[in-house]
A and B are shown apart, each in its own frame.
Chain A
Amino acid sequence: MATKMSGSPAGVRDRHKDLKFILLIAVTCISIVPTTLLAILSYYQYRNLLQEEQNQFLKVYANNVRQMLSPQLLLSLNPKSVLKKEISVEKTLENDTASPYLSPQILYDACVVDDLGDLLTASRFFTTEDRENLRKIITAPSRPIEKFQTFRGEKLWLTAQHLQLHNMTLLVARQAPVATWFRFQFKLVAIYCACTAIGLLLIHQLITILTRKLRESDIQRMKIFSDIAHTHRLTTLGTLAAGVAHEINNPLASLHQRAGLLLDIFDMNKDFPQRDKVLKTTENMIEHISRCQIITHQLLVLSQEKPSVGEQTSIENIISELLVFFQAEAEQRHIVFETNFDKQLPNAHGAEDKIQQVLLTIITNAMTALEENGIIRITTKTKDSDYIKINIEDNGRGIPPNTLKHIYDPFFTTKDTGEGTGLGLAIANALIKSLGGEITIESTPEKGTLFSIILLKHIPDENTNN
């Protein structure tokens, strides 16, 4: 059977459809087959039993009838006198009390036929037209035949006894106990059908549930694997990035010092042609080296997941200091900062520098989103009793949903090449997570963006106990 090797949910669904189908067929066969066999067996068993009893009874009855037949009676029989003589059944039945089949509704009959198959006595069941059939019977005497259909298609139990001396055959017939028989058959079939139907329904339900659970657990497992693979890829990337950063750091440090040395040398030599240009070039080189060093440091920060040192920090102070830092640029671009600090502001359980870096990144992004004219609103409040929430809201150009999906991905940036590393938010997210907190973003394109940082509150009592 061709199996799709895809790991997608669609692939899983197909595989499970096949599985469900197979299971249904298998379980149905396994459960229905024995049931059917059982039903068939019991049917035949019962029929045979019935037959046996019938035949037994009939034999006994036939014997009794035979004994009733006197030679004189037999001698007087001839085809022409058929209607005049009739063998009485009632007399025989009088003697028989133990039979379970004694019932006034059931017809008995006894008659005598000659060797040609002609009736010699009257019969309730047989007519002279049954000649052929009667001939068939008398050729095999003393053997009970069942299901000899005659007399308006009714089933008869029949036994034949050959009367040697007179070349005649005694036929004893009994109407088959249709009611009982049919009732039994009907009951059996009804029970069988009902059980089968219920059984099939149950099987179907069970298997549906089973395969559904299987499918869910399969999808779950695949999702976990893909998550693990993803995390692994990120970890590998992080390790790789860290390795690269580490390696590059050393030559960068040398470059930095060498460039600085160049400046020192130029300083010492007072004047020479192109001095300004040379100085400018060297300073430019130092700038670029510094930028590289910032990037490598960002990479190294991103790759480390060590727990933070718990220091008591005042969020208020961190924010206020940062706003001072942005003051000049904000004034130039007509951006207004609004702050609203919760009076109950406790100290945050976290590292000062990490929170500062996160806030720096977010405020920088907010300022980039605003370009000219706008408001950046920073509010703090204590959420529940264990958390602090810092909201940074701007009315800038917002973040479209497609970008929002990838916003924490390392190296994802919507800025031009050289403008941003795409690491800012990735690092911010990693830092906040390492503090046990969370960042959430709400954004409407053209309306604005709201960053919410949720941090653990450091409970002062704990500290004093320490």
Chain B
Amino acid sequence: MKIQIIDDEVDFAEALAERLEIRGHSVKISHSGATGIASVNAELPDVVLLDINMPDITGIEVLEGLTLTHPTLPVMMLTGHAYSSHKEEALAKGARECLTKPIELAQLLEKIAAL
């Protein structure tokens, strides 16, 4: 599957990307909302892994942008917090899933396969 990771945590994103690639997925990483949206527009992935907490454009705003331009594109939100309000908001705005870090890879792979 083609996966786009949008997360400002560089090391986390790279580690996750490598692990996904070992399992045969093709992964692109963007470290900001703007570059992420540009990357999605350039080449449409099968799924987007989007971090909620980002400095310039928030994850929620990116989500809104993505659902507008690519309504059928599944977006999974990743969050480091346990705040359920973020979760609710994301799901309400069209996110397919909301996962809390630490991401259990097995769980993530399951959810991606289920798409």
Contacts and interface: CB of A to CB of B under 8 A. Distances in A.
Give the secondary structure class of B's interface.
Answer: helix
A353 to B, nearest CB: 8
Given A253-B103, A293-B102, A261 B80 contact: no
B101 A261 contact: no
A300 B80 CA distance: 10
A271 interface: no
A306 B87 CA distance: 14
A257 B15 contact: yes
Nearest to B9: A250
B83 A289 contact: no
A290 to B, nearest CB: 7
A301 interface: yes
Given A256-B102, A257-B19, A289-B102, A250 B81 contact: no
B80 A250 contact: yes
Contacts of B68: none
Contacts of A249: 80-81, 101
B103 A257 contact: yes
A268 interface: yes
B102 A258 contact: no
Size category of the A interface is 20 to 34
Given A256-B102, A261-B18, A290-B102, A250 B12 contact: yes
Contacts of B85: 306
A268 B101 CA distance: 25
Contact of B19 (A250, A260, A297, A300): A260
Top 3 A-B pairs, shortest CB-CB distance = A257-B15, A254-B11, A253-B101
17 contacts: A250-B9, A253-B9, A254-B15, A256-B102, A257-B19, A257-B102, A258-B11, A260-B15, A261-B15, A261-B19, A261-B22, A264-B22, A268-B22, A293-B101, A297-B82, A301-B82, A306-B85
